A = this chain, B = another copy of it.
Amino acid sequence: MKKNSEPTIHDIARELNISASTVSRALNNNPRISLKTKEKIKQVADDLGYRPNTLASNLRNKKSNTIGIVVPLINRHFFSSVISGVEDVAYKAGYTVVISQSNDLYDKEINIVHSMFSNRVDGLIISIAMQTDSFEHLKLFRKKNIPLVFFDRVVPEIETDKIVVDDFAGGFKVTQHLIDQGYKRIGHLAGPQNLMTYLDRKKGYLEALRKNEIPYDDSLTIVNTLTSEEGVPAVQQLLELPNPPDAIFCGNDATALSVMIYLRDRGIRIPQDMGIVGFSNEPYSKVVSPSISTIAQPGFEMGQKAAELMIRKIENKEKTFQTFVLPTELIIRDSSNRKNYQSQ
C-alpha cells in the first residue's frame, strides 16, 4: 500500500484478488454480488479503515450531494435559524450544506454564487444581498437548470421556488395594531425598497392607513438600511418634524431597539408618548424592556421548507415552481400596548 494515502476500492480488490467493480458493487449493496462476497469485502473494508472518496463518486455521478446556501450574514438570528432548518432537513436526506455570507455586498455575492456553481452544488438556496440589483449570476442557475430556491429576499423577475413570509400582511397587521391602540400619526422606518420584503412591509403599512382613512404623509417614512446605527438619525429626523409621529413602525427589531433606547434617553415614554413596533421577532425583542411588539418570522421552518422543496427538485419529484408564503404572527408586547398600559 502506498504511503500516506487513503485505501481505495482497488486496495480492497487487491487484497481479495477480485476486481474493483465488484468491490464497488458490494459496498453499494448491488444484488449482482453474492452475499458471501459482500461480507468478505465489507470485512476487509473495515480492516483497512476504508472510507469512500465522495469526490470521486461525485465526479463520476455528476452529483455532489451538496446544497449551497447564501445569506447576507450568518451571524444574525433569523438567518442562522434558516440555515439551521436547512441543515436539519438536508442532513437527514444525506446532503451536505455549504454556506457563505454575502455581507450584503453585490460583488461578494457574485463570487460566491460562481464558486458554488464551480463546486457543482446540486442546488442553491439564497437570500440576496441588500446591494444586489442585477441578477445575471442567479439566472445562470436557472439557465443551467440547477434548482434555485429563494427565501425571504426573493427576486420577482426570476421564476423559481420561493419561500417568503407575508410581509405585506405583516406590515398591515402591525400598522393596524398601532391604529387600534389609538395612535394617530404613524411613522415608518423602511428598508431598501429594491428588496421585496421591505417594499411589501411598506405596502402593508400604506394599505392599513388607507383602510383607516388616515392620509399618508411622505415625510413620515424614512428609508435606510435598518442598522442600529442608522436608527438614531432617522428618529431624530422624525422628531424634528413640525408634526412628529406618535408611533413608529420600524422595519426590523434592531432599529426598533436603537430607536427605543434613544427615546428613553430623551425622556420620551414608550408606549405612552410613542408606540414602537419592530419586525422579525429577534430573541431579544421579548426580553428587553419595554418588550418590543413585532412580527414573528418562522426562520427555522422557512429553512426546512426551503430544503424540502430543494430536495424534491433535485430528486426530480417535483417539476413546477411554487411560492410558499408562510404566515406571520403579530406579537403584541409592551412597546405598543398603550391601552393595556393605561388600564393598569
State the A residues within 8 Å of B (CB): 4, 6, 49, 51-56, 58-59, 64, 66, 73-77, 80-81, 83-84, 87-88, 91, 96-101, 108, 112, 114-115, 117-120, 140, 144-145, 257, 282-284, 287-289, 299-300
Contacts and interface: CB of A to CB of B under 8 A. Distances in A.
B53 A118 contact: yes
A75 B96 CA distance: 17
Nearest to A76: B80
Given A99-B99, A287-B284, A84 B77 contact: no
B100 A51 contact: no
A77 B74 contact: no
B87 A119 contact: no
This chain: how many copies in the complex?
2
Contacts of A73: 84
B96 A98 contact: yes
A256 to B, nearest CB: 11
Given A75-B77, A114-B51, A288-B287, A119 B96 contact: yes
Nearest to A82: B75
B119 A54 contact: yes
Contacts of A4: 145
A145 B3 CA distance: 12
A120 to B, nearest CB: 5
Given A96-B98, A99-B99, 20 more contacts: A54-B119, A55-B64, A56-B59, A59-B59, A73-B84, A74-B84, A75-B77, A75-B81, A75-B84, A75-B299, A76-B80, A77-B77, A80-B80, A88-B101, A91-B100, A91-B108, A91-B112, A96-B115, A96-B119, A288-B289
Contacts of A51: 114, 117-118
18 contacts: A6-B144, A51-B118, A53-B59, A53-B118, A54-B120, A55-B59, A55-B64, A55-B120, A56-B59, A74-B84, A75-B80, A75-B299, A76-B80, A77-B77, A91-B112, A96-B119, A283-B284, A287-B287
Contacts of A117: 51
A284 B286 CA distance: 9
A63 to B, nearest CB: 10
A262 to B, nearest CB: 13
A114 to B, nearest CB: 7
Contacts of A284: 283-284, 287-288
- Pairs of residues from A and B, 10 with the lowest C-beta to C-beta distance, nearest first: A284-B284, A75-B84, A80-B80, A289-B289, A287-B288, A74-B84, A54-B118, A55-B59, A98-B98, A54-B119
A112 to B, nearest CB: 8
Contacts of A87: 74, 99-101
Interface centre among A64, A81, A112, A284 (most CB of B within 10 A): A284
A75 B83 contact: yes
A289 B87 CA distance: 34
